[in-house]
Amino acid sequence: MADQEKNAGDKILKGVAAGAQIRKGAHLLSAQGHVLVVELPHSVVMVDCGRGGQQTQALLKELRAITDKPIETVCYSHGHGGYNFGVPAIRAHNRERREAPPTLVAQRNVKKRYDRYRATDQFQRILGQMQFPGPRSKRSEDPYVDPDITFNEHLVLHDDNPRVELLWVPSETDDALAVWMPETRVLYGGAATPGDAIPNIGTPLRTQRLTLRWAESLERMAALRPEVLLTEFGAVIDGESEVHERLIQTAKALRWLRDEVVSHLNRGLNEQEILAELRYPPELFEVPWMTPNYGSPDYIVRDLVREESGWWDRNPTTLHPAHPDAVAEARFHALGEPEKILARARALAADGEIQLALHVVDLVAEGPGSNSLVQEGRLLKAELCKLRAKEIRPYVSKALYRSSAELLETGRSWKDLA
């Protein structure tokens, strides 16, 4: 591990300054993630433009420190909100300069994604409050701006000096694109290459991301033999062998996970049993670019199980459940001595068994809301959630434990976030 990091270190460019020229005509700026700017003879192409407001204004300031050429095209790296909420600001910028509005280019699935996000806008806000807790500004207008031009698998955006190609690389989303510049062998991987982090497949509050499809996208990009890889966040990878290793080894890890999950399913194991049995090989998972700081191997395992099976957890009780309030009432009154259950949960926590304590405290904390012991159980559960957040590595898990603790402490539920 240490030798591997040392050997790769000379070709991994960390802390690249905003606006840095990576290769002739290709600059890396910053907004929601890395923004690629490609200089054409008489204009520029931008990939992403940030979430608007101060972030996009700062991006424009960075751009104008590099070039005064007009912004001809804005490409959407993928359809997640925030990466291109700054389109109105870019349009206003061009208008102030008496230039034509930029052409908006995206993979064709972006339009369907944007329609889905518009239809589920309030639900998306609830998910956002849980996954990214903190103050949020209210939106008065639809922030999703549909692209002007879409493509399916491949689009030549500019065909000469420099040649700029857009490639469909389904990964974090089914509308993700990569940018390939064959003359300088620069590859912008976008959401398919998140940076120094394991692919965020199976994130708890998001739709499926199809592990093998992501692996195939990485393998197709590796086949281009790029010399430079620009990731969505994190380091710039410089050197053909270093880029190839990162792309192929990540794909190999994803394929290993799929093979193992299928093998365990074929033995009749359920999700919880698979998670308990799996041991992740260090040569695949303990490398700098597979750090579980946002995603997690456990998340990917869960997503793979969902790909191969339905929603049922194999417990016949859950097939056609009673009303949650009736279940809570019946379970609580079936408990012999809830005080002893709370005491046992506290004892487990004191022994460092926070997760086991959570399983035990739920026997009480999931009871009817009017009971004082239930309230005590929920406050204890909130404490345990905050302790569990300190133990776990992925950011999303930390955030969900802390958000859940706040709901428990304030007596609210997800319905109150709507």
- Which tens digit of pLDDT belongs to each residue from 11-39? 666 555 556 788 888 999 999 999 999 99
Per-residue pLDDT, 134: 80
Q: In the predicted model, what is the mean pLDDT of residues 322-337?
A: 92
Q: Which of 24-33, 101-110, 221-230, 258-267 has the lowest average pLDDT?
A: 24-33
pLDDT exceeds 60 at position 1 = no
- Which tens digit of pLDDT belongs to each residue from 191-240? 999 999 999 999 999 999 999 999 999 999 999 999 999 999 988 999 99
pLDDT bin (cut points 50, 70, 90) of residue 4 is: very low
Sheet of 149-151, strands arranged across: 20-23, 26-30, 34-39, 44-47, 71-75, 103-107, 149-151
Task: Give the C-alpha distances (Å, rounded to integers) separating 33 from 49, 121, 164, 214.
Answer: 9, 23, 20, 19
Per-residue pLDDT, 7: 36
Per-residue pLDDT, 412: 94
pLDDT exceeds 50 at position 144 = yes
Q: In the predicted model, what is the mean pLDDT of residues 344-367?
A: 96
Vertex 149 angle, CA 97 and 44, to 5°: 40
Name, in order, each residue with C-beta under 8 angstroms of 20's C-beta and a sequence gap of 6 or more: 27, 28
Q: Which of 17-31, 78-92, 379-393 has the lowest average pLDDT?
A: 17-31
pLDDT exceeds 80 at position 247 = yes
pLDDT exceeds 90 at position 337 = yes
* Ramachandran angles phi, psi of 414, nearest 5°: -60, -30
| pTM exceeding the 0.85 threshold for the entire prediction | yes
What is the pLDDT of the chain when averaged over all its residues? 93
Helix axes 338-350, 354-365, angle to 10 degrees: 160
Per-residue pLDDT, 17: 56
Per-residue pLDDT, 13: 62
